[in-house]
Each structure stands twice: as C-alpha cells, then as structure tokens.
Structure 1
Amino acid sequence: MEYVIFHEKCASFSLAMESVILQRARMYIGLGFLLKSNTFCFRTVLAMQRVQHRYETFK
C-alpha cells in the first residue's frame, strides 16, 4: 500500500505499463512454447529487461 501512495502520480502509468508488460510476456511465452528455441527465449528476456529499464528510468 505504501508503494501505491508513494507513487500516486505514476500510479496510472505504472498500471498501464504492468498490463502491457504482462500481455507481452504472455505473448512471448506462447511464441516461445511454439518455437521451443533457447535463443528466442534469451532474446525475449533481453527485450523484457530493456522494457523494464526504460520503465525504471521513467520513474
């Protein structure tokens, strides 16, 4: 709860970002299962980290 109160200004943005990240994660996981490719999974993790980093710098 403290987190929500502290980041009240960014609350709507963070919720939107979290939903987008979750949707992308589900999509990537689905594609990963279809392809069963380790390199694809690795690239997906890197992409997710990049998105996370951009989100963190925005905060």
Structure 2
Amino acid sequence: TISISVSPPTTDSNATTPKKVLLPIGFGTEEMEAVILIHVLRRAGAHVTVASVEPQLQIEAAG
C-alpha cells in the first residue's frame, strides 16, 4: 500500500519573500502543460510571470 500526503507549503523563517518564476512560452506550447505548471507553481506560493518568446504577446498553442 502506498500512501501519499499532500500538505500546504510551510513557512520557513529564512524564506521571507516568495520565489519568482519566469515561464517562457512560444508557438506550439501545449496549453494544458502550461496551465498546469502555472497552477502548481502558484499553489506552492511562487509568483509566476508568463512571457512569450515570440515577438507577439499572444501565441497559438498546440491543439
């Protein structure tokens, strides 16, 4: 039997500021992979910035 426990992040006295994460995305990015990654990082307390590596601000994800 395998038991998995998921608990919220604990506060560390040494970690006073949340981590900052830059997630570069471009044409062909799998939309669900990006959304899930952003969601997990934010739930872990990170400040996530999503940036296009393309000249346009909007990209077309793989579909």
> TM-score scaled by structure 1?
0.40
More helix by share: 1
> TM-score scaled by structure 2?
0.38
Which has the larger Rg? 2
